[in-house]
Amino acid sequence: MLKKFLVLMALIVPMTANAADKKKKEEPVVHLTDEQIYDELKKFAMVFEAARENFVEEADEKKMLEAAMNGMLGALDPHSSYLAADEFKEFSEKSHGEFGGLGIQITSDRGAVRVISPIDDTPAEKAGIKAGDYITHIDDEQVFDLTLNQAVKKMKGRPGTKVKLTIVSDDGEPRTITLKRAIIKVKSVKFEEKKLADATDDTDEKIGYIRISDFGATTAKELREAIASLEKAKVIGYVLDVRNNPGGYLTAAIDVSDAFLDDGEIVSTRGKKKTDIDRVFAKPGDLTNGKPVVVLINHGSASASEIVAGALQDNHRALVMGSQSFGKGSVQQQKPLGDGTAIHITIARYYTPSGRSIQNEGITPDVEVLHSKVEVLEKRESMYSEASFKNSLKNDKSKKKDAKKSKTDDEEDAPELTDAEKDALDYQLQRAMDMVRAMSKLNMLPHAKADVSSDDAAELGEEENADAEKANEAKAPKKAPAKPAAKSSSKPAGKSSAKPAAKAPAKKK
């Protein structure tokens, strides 16, 4: 009974916090004078001293101060936080492609811990943890008393040891699962030639499938190698799968987008001031030689994934399919404090080429294809046909092969599915490959939506755009090296580049 009550509270707290959050957003920002700020800092010192002197047990001063700094940054947005020395060190492990834990990306959601996405081929993914799930308890301890960094620490541990999580999914039913910690090795890009599930053996229509699970330091290099290999295989088009990809390096997202583009803007980042705007443009050279591209997204696609989807969609280069993305449109950066610690803070918002901010909204797919289960109602070859009649004439030039032998009982009972069988059950993937094949046959490129709506144009404002152009003209352009498969283009490359240290907000465990 107590457990059910705690789970109910877990679901209620985010909703009540949401109402309070909306009320807070409606309140105007209060700016203090220097004297008022000094008075508040004196009050903070008085609170610290009173707590240290009067608390019933011996106080941990370092813990108190770190919690105060974390609370101060957490009041700004869910992605800003204080990083102690060990946390700052762990944060950089992602760039090396290997770390210990469960393989799960989480974020803070109004005091709760919410899953952005599991990482491919990890304990979390194999246990069935999904994007959008809430973690309410870690080893039977509720998470609402923990900061996000504390929750991360509790889930990390020596490889081979176990941790128990209580998960609440969309259906509201809690479940407890026990996971074994492992060394998480992230291979950012996987690729292969695929055929549709209903394709015949003699078809030569091969589709290049590229799965990007994370935008890391080596993603762009791995992608170029993947495209080069698939181009040699003479694929007819590409499916770029960024479902359940929680993001990563902004520069990696820019490089991935650039691989599919000949020209055009990729993304713009806009900071606190109207003139603090950086625009990034594609360099000449579409590595896929203009072949059809479909980008697959879902509600676990966040941050860098949304930059790629938005850039290819707005430049009319790819058709976006799947479901609405996560809606994380802000850029974070680590600011070292000189003693091994740092702050992780939101420094800008990013916008798609048409001027869309996807913060809290996400990328809307051109074709919505929800994750579904397909049930076959009709056999490929009916028992009733001309061929079923007695003494029917034979087709001398028939290319049909003998029917495959039926599976043995052992094969029928085998629990492991082959990669082809898994692909056949992936409804979104099959529809994406269908679209690539259709686009290839029609020799067409996708038609994106209108570049900027009237509301967006009004919101951006002519004054802001003018200021942005002046700011960009004042910056010295950096000449980037040409891509290996560059094509000629009349459009110049962009003037500015994104901040290289910017990263997605999610914590990895």
Give the confidence band of 447 by pLDDT, cuts at 50, 70, 90: low
The pLDDT value given to residue 380: 54
- How many angstroms separate the CA atoms of 227 and 73, rounded? 41
More confident call, 9 vs 444 = 444
**pLDDT above 80: residue 2:** no
Residues 487 and 262: beta-carbon distance below 8 Å = yes
CB atoms within 10 A of CB 154: 16
* Tokens (6 digits) for 93: 């492990």
358 contacts 311 by C-beta, under 8 angstroms: no
Residue 332 has pLDDT above 60, yes or no: yes
Give the position of tokens 């457990």: 3
Q: In the numeric block, which tokens belong to residue 344?
A: 């992780």
Average pLDDT over every residue of 247-262: 95
Question: How confident is the model over 313-317, as a mean pLDDT?
Answer: 97
pLDDT tier, 248 (very low <50, low <70, confident <90, very high otherwise) = confident
**Nearest by Cα to 265 from 250, 248, 283, 290:** 283
Domains and CATH numbers, the chain: 1-8+100-185 (2.30.42.10), 189-370+447-500 (3.90.226.10)
> What's the whole-number mean pLDDT along residues 177-189?
87
210, burial (CB in 10 Å: exposed 0-12, middle 13-18, buried 19+): buried
At residue 314 the predicted structure's pLDDT band, cuts being 50, 70 and 90, is very high
Map residue 14 onto helix, strand or coil.
helix
Quick check: is 268 catalytic? no
Among 328, 495, 503, 508, the active-site one is 328
Q: How far is CA 490 from CA 40, 95, 179, 302, 435, in A?
A: 57, 36, 55, 33, 30
Please say whether the beta carbons of 292 and 444 come within 8 A. Answer: yes
pLDDT of residue 313: 97
* Lookup: tokens for 205: 């229509």
Please answer whether residues 311 and 484 qualify as being in contact, where contact means their C-beta atoms are separated by less than 8 angstroms.
no
| Stated length of the chain | 509
pLDDT digits (tens, 9 = 90+) for 60-94: 999 999 999 999 998 999 889 999 888 888 776 65
Mean pLDDT of 229-244: 96
pTM attached to this predicted model: 0.69
| Predicted pLDDT at 393 | 74
pLDDT at 291: 96
Strands 319-322 vs 293-297: parallel, antiparallel or unpaired: parallel
Q: Which of 303, 325, 330, 357 is catalytic?
A: 303
Q: Tell me the average pLDDT of the chain.
A: 79
- Cβ neighbour number for residue 106 with a 10 Å cutoff: 26
List pLDDT tens digits, range 368-422.
999 887 666 665 555 566 666 666 777 776 655 554 444 444 444 445 677 778 8
- What pLDDT is stored for residue 504 in this prediction? 43
The answer to whether residues 219 and 247 touch, using CB atoms and an 8 Å cutoff, is no
Active-site annotation holder among 214, 314, 423, 426: 314
Show Cβ contacts of residue 162 under 8 Å, excluding neighbours closer than 6 positions: 178, 179, 180, 181
Clarify whether 314 is annotated catalytic: yes
> Does residue 156 carry a catalytic annotation?
no
Query: How far apart (Å, rounded) are the C-alpha atoms in residues 211 and 225?
Result: 13
State how far the Cα of 329 lies from the Cα of 361, in Å rounded to an integer. 9
- pLDDT over 90 for what percent of the chain? 45
